[in-house]
A and B are shown apart, each in its own frame.
Chain A
Amino acid sequence: MNKYVIEASGLTKRYGTSTVVDHISFDVASGEIFGVLGPNGAGKTTTILMLLGLCDISEGKVRVLDHDPVREPLAVKRRVGYLPDSVGFYDHLSAADNLHYTARLIGIALGEREKRIEAALARVRLEDVADKRVATFSRGMRQRLGLAEIIMKDVQVAILDEPTNGLDPQASVEFLELIRSLKSAGVTILLSSHLLDRVQNVCDRVALFNAGKIALMGTVAELGSQVLGGGFAVEVEAEQGPHLALRLGAIPGVRGVEEPAEGHFRLLCDRDVRPEAAAEVVAAGARLKRLAFDQPSLETIYTRYFQSVKPGEARHAA
């Protein structure tokens, strides 16, 4: 059994003279949630379409579940579920009928269809509108119906293109919850998005796309140390303690202490030093008010990264 469910190497897509996806390589391990991030037009959707065999590959190799999407598209599409960017359904059919049509296309046996559709609709909490026409559905409901289709299909890999795009905060939190439950059912998930804070919470690893290339790849923490110059930050708020800054700075692993405000310390360190910091504050006889571990946010990483590459971009354009 192969550890990786998606393996892409040197994947390239050209339209005429413009290269939309430029020699990208990545692997997605079984059971993980892999985030594909990047600005619009960075080549995320094109990459996804190439994985599904819905778009020709100009150069490079890709294997999905040990099948070649170009030569064996049916084998790939049987095991992979795809939720396109702002998915559409046949408006004049009911939710259940839409799923029935897909179920017949997939080739689910007649006896099993009803059961699986019902179960899938219940999973995404659409069972009470199963017989309503999709025309009346909100955007969030359509997205959920798309996810129900993937659940019904019983796939090994789910590819979701901008799944939370255009959803209100409440709906997108619910949706990410559903995605997490898919993961716990053993489905590998590839997720593309530009809504970073949402994605940060669900993705195991992310790849940052920029102008057809993968700029950065790894866990959020890894990206943080690459882009932000590394390290963690621990915030401490404490009242009255002599030489507290010095004492905190003496903790092993702490590289520096800032004091942006009176009684407010920011420790830059190589590891999580919260326990030692707490002990140190108490030992100094000060009163600890707040202790927080500041994880690098994907948004910060993203913004910082694109600020750093902007000048290069401009030269490209000229």
Chain B
Amino acid sequence: MRREGSPWRGLGVVVLKELSDHLTSARMRVLEWLVVLTALAAVYAAITQVRNVTAEDPFLFLRLFTTSRDPLPSFVSFLGFLVPLMAIGLGFDAVNGEHNHRTLSRILSQPIYRDALLFGKFLAGLATLSISLIALWLLVIGLGLIMLGVPPGGEEMARAMIFLLVTIAYAGVWLALAMLFSVVFRSPATAALVTLGLWLFLTVIWPALAPGIAEAFLPADNQALLVTGAQMLARLSPSTLFGETVLALLDPSTRTLGPVYLSQLQGAVMGAPLPLGESVLIAWPQIVGLVAATIILFVAGYVAFQRQEVRA
């Protein structure tokens, strides 16, 4: 059975409207300030730290992102925490908000498919997140230029750029999750609580739980199997995937994200940086995992939305 007309009809209209809603909303303003202030604090701490400690590092600029000074975590760990919060903040009432304001049936009685509405909302959310992340990224680089007084090298910029893209993909995962729950739950408060709960679980509890689960189900005598098993379990959490990708990208001396075997160390120069391509290759499964999680979660939300009753 084929439908007549394009499912993308009206997509652009929906994206523009949602984007302007997001950018003018008070919620967005609060989230932006939260992100900017905390990230700036982290970068400032990193810069003072970098100045004191590292004199001759070939990847001085990347240290901006990863160095932490005691009470404050590093810029990347801040992002790992705040990006999901932003994404959930933008997505938790995407569909049930329309239901509750009784606008959904009116909009869907216009000549567009539901596809356009849901995908438009997702794209607008992702665009909003991208705009804030790119602004933040430029801010950090600019601050680094001014405060460190050293221009970044080409490879550093390339790594920082890929890091930006990965962060956007990471934001996409949480946005898709928030939108899925906004379809499933009729009340925005329930949707927000469930999404935040799942986020806390996946970010804080699951990585700590993974080794325990691995020990319970795998033979205890094989240490290597235990470690890899625990790691595989932990990688079910997008936060773990993001953390590992960032580690490989921003720390060029990272050679592997799993346990290192002695045979792999033969002939390796310890601490020497890997070329960019190799670093990306190390993190490639994680990057694909993040993108795949976004797509799967979006599709789940899409299927749920297509089957949903429009009546309020």
What residues of chain A have their CB less than 8 Å away from a CB belonging to chain B?
Answer: 45, 49, 52, 54-55, 71-75, 77-78, 80-92, 101-102, 104-107, 146, 149
Contacts and interface: CB of A to CB of B under 8 A. Distances in A.
B273 interface: no
Contact of A84 (B17, B102, B110): B102
A91 B107 contact: no
A146 B107 CA distance: 11
B9 A84 contact: no
B302 to A, nearest CB: 17
Contact of A88 (B3, B5, B102): B102
Nearest to B107: A105
Across the A-B interface, the 6 shortest Cβ-Cβ residue pairs:
A88-B102, A82-B109, A74-B5, A78-B111, A105-B110, A104-B13
B112 A105 contact: yes
Contacts of B5: 72-75
Given A73-B113, A101-B13, A105-B110, A84 B4 contact: no
The A interface, classified by DSSP as helix, strand, loop or mixed, is: mixed
B106 A84 contact: yes
Interface string B286-312: 000000000000000000000001111
B108 interface: yes
Given A90-B101, A92-B21, A84 B109 contact: yes
Interface in B85-126: 101-103, 105-113
Contacts of B112: 74, 77, 105
A91 to B, nearest CB: 7
B106 A87 contact: yes
A104 B309 CA distance: 25
A71 B205 CA distance: 48
Given A84-B105, A88-B103, A102-B106, 14 more contacts: A45-B311, A49-B311, A54-B105, A74-B5, A74-B113, A80-B109, A82-B106, A84-B102, A85-B312, A86-B102, A91-B101, A101-B13, A104-B17, A106-B110
15 contacts: A49-B311, A55-B309, A71-B4, A72-B5, A73-B111, A74-B113, A85-B312, A87-B102, A88-B102, A89-B103, A90-B103, A101-B13, A106-B111, A107-B111, A146-B106
B3 A73 contact: yes
A74 B102 contact: no
Nearest to B6: A74
Nearest to A153: B110
A72 B1 CA distance: 11
A33 to B, nearest CB: 19
B10 interface: yes
A210 B41 CA distance: 66
A82 B105 contact: yes
Nearest to A87: B106
Contacts of B1: 71
Interface string B1-43: 1111100011001100100010000000000000000000000
A84 B312 contact: yes
Contacts of B107: 102, 105
Contacts of B312: 84-86, 88
A107 B112 CA distance: 10
Contacts of A102: 106-107, 110
A77 B310 contact: no
A314 B14 CA distance: 49
Nearest to A86: B102
Given A49-B311, A73-B3, A105 B10 contact: yes
A83 B312 CA distance: 13
A101 B18 CA distance: 11
Contacts of A89: 101, 103, 106
B102 to A, nearest CB: 3
A53 to B, nearest CB: 9
Contacts of B2: 71
A89 B107 CA distance: 9
Contacts of B108: 54
B103 A74 contact: no
Nearest to B24: A92
A84 B103 CA distance: 9
Interface in B158-210: none
Nearest to A106: B110
Which interface residue of A54, A78, A81 has the most chain B CB atoms within 10 A? A54
A140 to B, nearest CB: 16
A83 B13 CA distance: 21
A106 B13 CA distance: 10
Nearest to B13: A104
Contacts of B10: 104-105, 107
B86 to A, nearest CB: 20
Given A90-B101, A101-B13, A101-B17, A71 B106 contact: no
Contacts of A104: 10, 13, 17
Contacts of A54: 105, 108-109, 310
